[in-house]
Structures are given as structure tokens and as C-alpha cells.
Amino acid sequence: MDNKIVISVLMSVFNTDFVLVKRAIDSVLNQDYQDFELIIIDDGSNNDTHYQVLDYAKIHEDKVVYLRHKNRGQSNAINRGISYSRGEYITILDADDEYKPNHLRACLNEIKGNDLIASTTKTIVDNENDYYVPDKYNLNRIIHVDDCILFATLFGKKEVFDKLKFQDIYSADSYFYESAAQRYNVKKVDLRTYIYYRNISSSICSTMKKKINALV
């Protein structure tokens, strides 16, 4: 049986430009804390990303696990990654974002005394509007990303992720956090070691924002 590791990093990929995916992967591989596995879940990519990510994963197979299935959406992809994870703690990385080199170590320091944390981000934008996203409670209202629970900044004990699954809905991250708060010790921390690119038009959040704006 495989030995336990400390952190499982989960990343769902769907047709993301390989240049961005490689940047994300490299930011994990270059962490100053190295007791981790990176599980990449290819959510049915139908472009060259599939082949490029698989080839890159093979180069780093001592650290990287590659899974693939038909397109199911990010929440379901991450749920599958959780079932394969071996880490004491689980965290997430969006395929078009990256970690600062001290991100995993900083999260380990912040998790002490808690079961799950979420954090603020270093947010990269082209204009002020990029800092704002639709409020899940009122889609006609927008809120600053610092006031949100962001999917990829979640970091917590594996037990939390095993017990609570992500739903395939808008703001699945905040619903997960709120559900966890009913059973576990949770905390929002001001930790800007996650680099969140809000200036990518094809990003998951930008795509969701466009869909919601079309409905309201």
C-alpha cells in the first residue's frame, strides 16, 4: 500500500491552454514544501491539452497523478480527485492560476487549530470590474472576490473533503465551506499566496459570470 503523504493538490483541466496548465503545474512542483502529490483530473479535454498534459505528467510521475474521464464539470472532477487522494490534507488549484513558492507551507501554518481554511488571493486584473463577481444570494448584485470563498483557496483535512462533496452549482465553493462550518472548525484567512488570474476571459469564473449575466 502506498505511503501517506501530507498534501494532495487537485487540479481539474478542461481545454485550458497548455501554457497556463504548465505554469500551474510548475508552481506546485516548485513549492518550498515538497511532501505532496499533484492529482490532475482531465475533465474530457477535446483539444491538444490532453496529450500535452499527459506527456508532462509522465516526466514528473514521481509527484503527479493523471486521471481522465468524460466531461462532468469541475465539481465532479474534483470529487473524483478526492477519492484518489492520499494526503492528510487536500487543496485545489485552478488550471489557469498558480501558487507562490511558499503557498503550501503557509497553508499548513494557517490550518493549525482548524479543519478547513479558505483564503484571500493575490488577484491579477485588467480593470477594477474584474475584482467583482455575482453574489450567489442575489445574482443582480456583485461582490468583491476578497469577500468570497474561492474554490482553489480551500485547504483542509481529508476527512472534511471525504464527508462533504462539491455540488455542480454556481458558488459550489461557498456552499461547501458553509456546510463544513456546521460540522468542523473553519476559518477565512488573509493569505495572499494564491495567484488568481481574473484577467483570463476563458477562465472558469469568467465563463460562469458570462452565463449568469446572460440570465439576469
> Domain extents for the chain?
5-132+149-200
Give the bridge partners for 156, in sequence order: 90, 116
Per DSSP, the three-state class of 170 is: coil
Please state the pTM of the whole predicted model. Answer: 0.90
Which stretches of the chain score pLDDT less than 70? 1-2, 200-216
Domain 5-132+149-200 -> CATH class: alpha beta
Q: What is the pLDDT of residues 164-187, one digit of tens each?
A: 999 998 889 999 999 999 999 999
The secondary structure element, H or E, covering residue 180 is: helix 172-181
The number of CA neighbours under 13 Å toward the Cβ of 18 is: 13
DSSP label of 11:
E
pLDDT tens-digit series, residues 48-69 = 889 999 999 999 999 999 999 9
